[in-house]
Amino acid sequence: MQITREAPLKHTLEPSNHPYLSGPWTPCHEEVTVDELEVIEGEIPPDIDGIYLRNTENPVHQPLGRHHPFDGDAMVHQVNISGGKASYRNRYVRTHCFDQEQIAGSALWGGLMDPSGTSKRPGFGAHGGLKDTGSTDIIVHAGIAYATFYQCGEAWMMDPVTLENLGKAPWGPLDGVSAHPKVDEETGEMMFFNYGVHAPYMHYGVVDRAGKLVHYVPIPLAGPRLPHDMAITKNWSILNDMPLYWDADLLKRDIHAARIHDDEPTRFALIPRHGQPEDIRWFEASPTYVLHWTNAHEDGDEVVLEGYYQDKPMPDPIEEMGKYSHMMAYVDEHSFQSKLHRWRFNLKTGETREERLTDRVVEFGMINPDYLMRESRYVWSTTTKPGWFLFNGYVRHDTQTGEEQVFELPEGVYASESPVVPKQGSAKEDDAYLVTFLIDENTGTSELAILDASDVTKGPICRAKLPHKISSGVHSTWVEREQLEMDLAKK
């Protein structure tokens, strides 16, 4: 295992007992490249050929105020797998805010829980006061990896193979880009949305395979909202207007405090992929909040959507956590009770039907990407440690039969969001692998792990040692090498 280390960065973060600056959330400040990872159990399957990318909240500087786990700087960790071997590298995302703090040698922006006026510089995101970190999501489109921030900053470009920073996307609109754009590999298009505090409060756009913004329209809402994700089908893009949003009276005082308006329905906007505002079909459903959708498809006169319905979008504080009681509850799935759910929108009648798919608390699910926009049978979700934003296992849901496979990691070992990787030449939906990073607090180490998607109960079938302990993070993606090479050849 040959390790090449990049020049060290300026960092001022001090050791802390903050729950999201210590333990499995302890930041990793070194950037390295490893030519070949040492396999310590099993073998890397020869029928995997592609790249795993995971974004990470990884703060560099001592916070100006209170720290929230979503305040961290973006660090992308990558594993490149081919021919039964794997290499590794990690790099920070060099946003404008990151660069300015490197020049200053200290933090310049406050965080999500800080009052207005904490920041020493104006923010770059659509909401003005926050630092644009690019630390939420990572996706690959037309040969470029995009790191995005859920509070609508720029879309930050990286080379998915080398992790070279390529600057901000030239197509990015003034109101920014939210996390969770969606890519249709067949057409080469990427769909995205943004949101903000000024009318019309949301926009929707389409970027073609050449990296050109070819469609961008307003999605008029009644006021500022907090959407987090979107979904796509062959003909429709699905956006949402959830009744969990900022308190209007407090917002007038520049206080961003969300509350549930449970007398209002959840509203879904179905817009044709290249449609105009007048083409939107609105549907209503029971009030909730949804962080993530798993898939959507068209079924005759209906559009079917699946995601994680929150039974308690305004969770009770976790009192035993003291001063962290509110923060811990709002990132704890067991507090807001997220459960796999299905919505069916009838395009003829305008009616919505809903169906609960499991009563198990789960989130951060993945599907076989070959089944995106098609009817998919399986969802692979993560489970979490109660009270914490830490993945401690997996559930494979069979959405046709209701059968579930469950795997729980050993105590003190935590996973990452895990893409489903179809086996080369596979014909079955679950003929695939899960690829993930593990953080082992018992040994202070991290690993690459691969699981059999058809039977997650077996646990990792392969483990390879990483050169350092990494921090827990948020979203990830997988890109097949064949797809990446096709995209690059078309440029």
- Residue 25, classified by CB atoms within 10 Å of its CB into exposed (0-12), middle (13-18) or buried (19+), is buried
Q: How far is CA 129 from CA 63, 98, 120, 249, 392, in A?
A: 15, 15, 10, 18, 34
The domain of 61 spans 3-489
Could you read off the pLDDT of 22-81 as tens digits, one per residue?
Answer: 999 999 999 999 999 999 999 999 999 999 999 999 999 999 999 999 999 999 999 999
Quick check: helix, strand or coil at residue 49?
A: coil
The model's pTM is: 0.97
pLDDT at 126: 43
Q: For residues 200 and 190, is the Cβ–Cβ distance under 8 A?
A: no
- Report the run of H or E that residue 396 belongs to, with start and end: strand 391-398
Q: What is the DSSP letter of 458?
A: G
pLDDT at 116: 76
3-state secondary structure labels for all residues of 165-214: EEEECCCCCCCCECCCCEEECCCCEEEEEEECCCCCCEEEEEECCCCCEE
Angle at alpha carbon of residue 83, lines to 140 and 145, rounded to 5°: 10
- The upper half-sphere exposure of residue 306, i.e. CA atoms within 13 Å in the direction of its Cβ, equals 28
- Euclidean distance between CA atoms 438 and 186, whole angstroms: 33
- Euclidean distance between CA atoms 188 and 184, whole angstroms: 6
Q: How far is CA 177 from CA 56, 164, 241, in A?
A: 18, 21, 17
Q: Which two tokens stand for residue 63?
A: 């916070």
Nearest Cα neighbor of 45 from 15, 80, 83 is: 83
Residue where the block lists tokens 């644009």: 132
Q: For residues 87 and 349, is the Cβ–Cβ distance under 8 A?
A: no
Give the amino acid at 323: K
Please report, for the domain that includes residue 301, its CATH number: 2.130.10.10
Q: How far is CA 195 from CA 116, 200, 201, 243, 363, in A?
A: 20, 9, 5, 15, 23
- Euclidean distance between CA atoms 338 and 292, whole angstroms: 10
Verify cis geometry, omega within 30 degrees of 0, for the bond prior to 200.
yes
- Euclidean distance between CA atoms 404 and 326, whole angstroms: 32
- Residue 443, classified by CB atoms within 10 Å of its CB into exposed (0-12), middle (13-18) or buried (19+), is exposed
3-state secondary structure labels for all residues of 356-386: ECCCCCCEEEECCHHHCCCCCCEEEEEEECC
Q: What is the DSSP string of 235-285?
A: SEEEEEE-SEEE-HHHHTTT---EEE-TTS-EEEEEEETT--GGG-EEEEE
- Residue 335, classified by CB atoms within 10 Å of its CB into exposed (0-12), middle (13-18) or buried (19+), is buried
- Euclidean distance between CA atoms 130 and 114, whole angstroms: 10
- Euclidean distance between CA atoms 73 and 135, whole angstroms: 6
- Euclidean distance between CA atoms 75 and 471, whole angstroms: 9
Residues of the chain with pLDDT under 70: 122-129, 491
Report the domain count for the chain: 1
| Phi/psi at 102 (5° precision) | -65, -40
Contacts within 8 Å (CB) and 24+ apart, 3-10: 3/32, 3/33, 3/34, 3/467, 4/32, 4/33, 4/34, 4/35, 5/30, 5/31, 5/32, 6/30, 6/31, 6/32, 6/33, 6/91, 9/60, 9/92, 9/102, 10/60, 10/102, 10/105
Could you read off the pLDDT of 7-32 as tens digits, one per residue?
Answer: 999 999 999 999 999 999 999 999 99
Bridge partner list, 344: 304, 353
Could you read off the pLDDT of 421-470 as tens digits, one per residue?
Answer: 999 989 899 999 999 999 999 999 999 999 999 999 999 999 999 999 99
Give the amino acid at 266: T
